[in-house]
Structure 1
Amino acid sequence: MPIYEYQCQACGQVFSHFWRSIKAADEQSAPVCPQCESADTQRLVSQVTVLGSLGGLTPEEKKAENAYYEKLASITPKEQIEKFRAAKKKEKGS
C-alpha cells in the first residue's frame, strides 16, 4: 500500500496520496489537488529513509540527533533562569 507524493502544476501544492496497491496507482489517473482541485498533478520522486543495518540510524541521522540533544542541553532551564532573576532582584534590593 504505497503513499506517493504529488505536486499540483497549477498552484504548486505538494501533497501525499495513499493507494490501495501499486497497480491501482499505475492504472488510475493522478489525484486532484486538495488545495485548488486541479486535475493537473504530477507524481514526484520522493526521498526514502533506510535504517542502517535494518535497525539503527545512519551516520548522518546519528550526527543530527546528537546535534539536537546538544542544543537541548545548552538551553538553560526555566527554574535556573528564575533563580538568577531572584538573586539579581535580591542584589538590587540590598
Structure 2
Amino acid sequence: LASSTGCKHKILNVGPTEPWSVREKLCLASSVMRSGDQNWVSVSRAIKPFAEPGRPPDWFSQKHCASQYSELLEATEAPKSVLQCVHISVCRYKK
C-alpha cells in the first residue's frame, strides 16, 4: 500500500471473491484507524469477532484485510487521511 505521500494505491489481487458486508468494511476501517495501515496482524485480530455468519476462518487474514482496505481506498475519492479521521463505533456492537 502506498504511503500518504500522494502515491496511487495498488489494489492487491488477493482475498475472498464474495463481497464484504458494510459492517465488515466499517470494522476494517475502524481497526485500521486505530492500528494503522501497516499493522495487518493487529487489524486482522481485532476484527475477527465481527465476521458475518458462515465466513471461512481466513476471511480476515492479513492479506485479505490489506486487499480489502486497498479496494476501499480505490473506491473512494476521499484522501486516505480523511478515511482515517472518521470515527466508527459500529464495531463495538455485535448482532
TM-score when normalising by structure 1: 0.21
More helix by share: 2
TM-score when normalising by structure 2: 0.21
